[in-house]
Homo-oligomer: A and B are copies of this chain.
Amino acid sequence: MDVKTLCLGVLTLGDASGYEIRKQFEEGPFAHFFQASYGSIYPSLGRLLDEGLVSVTEHAQDGKPDKKVYNLTPAGRARFTEALGDLPAPDSFRSEFLVYLFFAELMPEGQLETVFDAYHKHFQDMADVIEGLSFDRVPPGRMFVRRMGHTFYKTMADYMEQHREEFIAESEPAKRVPKAAE
């Protein structure tokens, strides 16, 4: 599933401009599990228009460029549900934070605490963001994913909190297994 197809999905939630779609990927629900920037969204919308999967209405504005609001055509909606018939690709996850924590014993003085606390704060912040969302008329799919996300963030934050002191104590350079003949 590429950005082009996902744009169709975002448009099933309502008409939107390229700018607004990007916001969905940056601040909206998708931000947590899919990212896309201008450089991929605008060209995608152009191609979707060529293929007749979306239509566009230009709203003149003063000062700003015309706002181009995209709307899903029936063909576009069909294309998206078709895409949902394929099997999803495996998740991809890359975490430099976990790489750092993995190598805790090799980190310079004080860096473990810094990295650890930043990572913990990230999870806690994300959990808080989700707790602040409204429960108003949220369809089941969105709700399920939201709750699952909240469970994830909260569990990770709690896990880190519970193991912080022990982990940091164990990782002290002084406790490292000395090299042979040293």
Q: Tell me the A residues contacting B by CB distance below 8 Å.
A: 1, 6, 9, 12, 29-30, 32-35, 80-81, 84-85, 87-108, 111, 114-115, 118, 122, 139-142, 144-145, 147-149, 151-152, 155-156, 159-160, 163, 167, 170-171, 177
Contacts and interface: CB of A to CB of B under 8 A. Distances in A.
A92 B140 contact: no
A7 to B, nearest CB: 12
A147 B166 CA distance: 13
Contact of A101 (B141, B156, B177): B141
Given A93-B91, A151-B159, A171-B141, A84 B105 contact: no
A9 B144 contact: no
A64 B21 CA distance: 52
A114 B100 CA distance: 36
A174 to B, nearest CB: 13
Contact of A107 (B6, B29, B84): B84
A99 B33 contact: yes
A74 to B, nearest CB: 12
B105 A140 contact: yes
Contact of A118 (B29, B87, B93, B95): B87
Contacts of A107: 81, 84-85
Contacts of A177: 139
Given A152-B152, A152-B156, A103 B34 contact: no
